[in-house]
Amino acid sequence: MGSVVEKSALIICGDYMEDFEVMVPFQVLQAFGVRVDCVSPTKLPGQKCFTAIHVSLGFEHYSELPGHSFTLNSNFNEVEVGCYDALVIPGGRFTELFSVDDRVLSIVKAFAEAGKPIVTTCHSQLILAAAGLLKGKKCTAFASMKPVIELAGGIWWEQPGITSPFDITTCLKDGNILSSIGWPAHAEILKTLFESMGARIHTTKANSVLFLCGDYVEDYEFNVPFRALQALGCKVDAVTPSKKKGETCVTAIHDDEGAQAFSEKRGHNLVITANWSDVSVYDYDCLVVPGGRSPELLVMNDKAVTLVKEFAEKNRVIAGVGQGQWLLAAAGVLKGKRCACGDGMKVMVKIGGGELEESKGCVSDGKLVTAVGWPALPSFISHLSKLLGLSLSFE
């Protein structure tokens, strides 16, 4: 996306890190030309870390569910802090183990001494405390971290007015320390991180984007582009025909676990932000249809199919990921268009009149953007941003 200066970031990973808190920065930073290295002590490139889904299921405390397996791409023992412009430490239980790992603390201290931005979310502020970096610093985190921050000499700050996880929107910056309660604030986390890395967001106009989803929408395919577009200043809404604003949809995690098809597990909840009756194609510049199993549900709903057709008739940008092509084919918007899709959607694309681009993870054709699935999200976000007149440069 036209970076003036090449930038790089390091993510310190560990087993049972929060799924979104590693994947969202990993993919969004890459979408805008940032090299992202992911490392973990005792593990080598190509090996995997387990991730965890933290979600409220109606109990007193949040629940932890199994997430994706995250593949490391760099060697912890070869980390040179001088080669990076930022450090991201996801939340999750692994931070308890790493808070007493001198090798990890040495890296974190080196980033602090160099004045480079350090992003912490949820529980990873524990590592800052262990490294002695919180003295006199204003910091926020998951509420249970308040005594940790205060005992470490930090100044506790809490976003007012939070009644549910979806109210969490703030990323607090004090010097080079960026802190947040957790993943629901990713739009502000990303925006603040971009600014801290010297980025400038360029836009030709204000953009409004609508995500069309339903229960068991693919977790990454909804959340990663949703937060990325918010970070770029877009107004972004999520809608589904059968639910009202403020209600939730459950998402699905699809992961390669060695079977013939990807496995499916329950993912995070997402909140619907607009009432179906209030949605007008005239209020949005773009429609995004993530994959998962929700398109199979939506294709049986005439209202959903009609909405896609209306976006096409008004020459709006339309984007589909993975199984999202099912709904786009049903609405007739793939005819004569070059499309990227995975094996599971090849038949739908062909009978829908699309032209397969089998060697590409993401394809733009006019005002249509298609991607094979969540592994191609960095390219998908890059293509979609370009069509919307959005870009980001580092100086």
Distances (CA, A) of 92 to 44, 271, 352: 20, 22, 43
- Give pLDDT, residue 2: 47
Identify whether the C-beta of residue 356 lies closer than 8 Å to the C-beta of residue 341. Answer: yes
In terms of Cα–Cα distance, which of 207, 253, 262 is closest to 229? 207
- Give pLDDT, residue 249: 96
- Give pLDDT, residue 5: 67
The bridge status of strand 368-371 relative to strand 317-321 is parallel
Residue 264 has pLDDT above 70, yes or no: yes
- Please give the mean pLDDT across all residues of the chain: 95
**CA–CA distance, 66 with 263 (Å, rounded to integer):** 12
Residue 190 has pLDDT above 90, yes or no: yes
- Give pLDDT, residue 313: 97
Can you tell me which residue has the tokens 């602090």? 112
Dihedral sign (CA 74, 76, 78, 79): positive
Residue 3 has pLDDT above 60, yes or no: no
Residue 1 has pLDDT above 50, yes or no: no
Distance of CA 98 to the CA centre of its chain: 24
> Does domain 8-197 fall into CATH 3.40.50.880?
yes
**CA–CA distance, 362 with 358 (Å, rounded to integer):** 10
- Give pLDDT, residue 209: 98
CATH hierarchy code of domain 203-394:
3.40.50.880
Q: How much is the average pLDDT of 251-269? A: 92
Structure tokens at 169: 């929107």
Q: How much is the average pLDDT of 202-207? A: 90
Intervals of CATH 3.40.50.880 along the chain: 8-197, 203-394
pTM, rounded to two decimals: 0.95
Axis-axis angle for helices 219-231, 19-31 (nearest 10) = 60
- Give pLDDT, residue 160: 86
pLDDT in tens, 72-116: 999 999 999 999 999 999 999 999 999 999 999 999 999 999 999
pLDDT in tens, 28-87: 999 999 999 999 999 999 999 999 999 888 888 788 899 999 999 999 999 999 999 999
